[in-house]
Amino acid sequence: MKHILTTSLVAGFVAGTPAFAAVEGKPFFSLYNTDIVVAIAFVIFIGILVYYKVPGLLSGLLDKRADGIRADLDEARKLREEAQELRASFERKHVEVQAEAERIVASAKEAAEAAAAQAQVDLADSIKRRMKAAEDQIASAEAAAIRDVRNAAVNVAVAAAGDVIRKNTSAEDADAMIADSIKTVEAQLH
């Protein structure tokens, strides 16, 4: 119905123009009038288009095109939202990774400080152990020196006593002391 109204309006507009006036004594509705021939061809062309439902097809194609564009816009909107969500997710992950890196650095600093403190404690303990070992060696060396001095004094005293006994004892007294010593040793051994 819409198409018929459009066709009749176009035909009325074309018929109302001065081009449809009689040309030089020839009748208005004649095949010699080119304007009439063009108008008739135009009306037939429009009729053929309407008969084959070309305006409906064109509007259907335009509707499909509009639906396709709407679908593309919706898809683009969804993709944009997904991209924004992905970007926000990456930004959150970036912040989390940066915080984790700062925690790792802080932990490493704490570990290094603890290791340095432990190394100082270990060094102090090692120095104490070495000092104790050195003091023990010094005490041992002193004890050995005192023992050596005592032994030397005993040897000197024994040698001096032996000289004194030799000078002050006669041969008979020496034989009696030797015999007495042998008896004492025999008694202690049995």
pLDDT by residue, tens only, the chain of 190 residues? 455 545 554 555 555 555 545 455 667 777 888 899 999 999 999 999 999 999 999 999 999 999 999 999 999 999 999 999 999 999 999 999 999 999 999 999 999 999 999 999 999 999 999 999 999 999 898 888 898 888 888 888 878 877 777 777 777 777 787 888 888 888 887 7
Helix (H) / strand (E) containing 96: helix 54-168
Tell me how far apart the alpha carbons of residues 157 and 153 are, in angstroms, rounded to a whole number.
6
* Extents of the domains making up the chain: 2-87
Work out the end-to-end distance of the chain between its first and last CA atoms, rounded to an integer number of angstroms. 157
With helix as H, strand as E and coil as C, how does 38-69 read?
A: HHHHHHHHHHHHHHCCHHHHHHHHHHHHHHHH
The separation between CA 157 and the C-alpha centre of its own chain, rounded to angstroms, equals 85
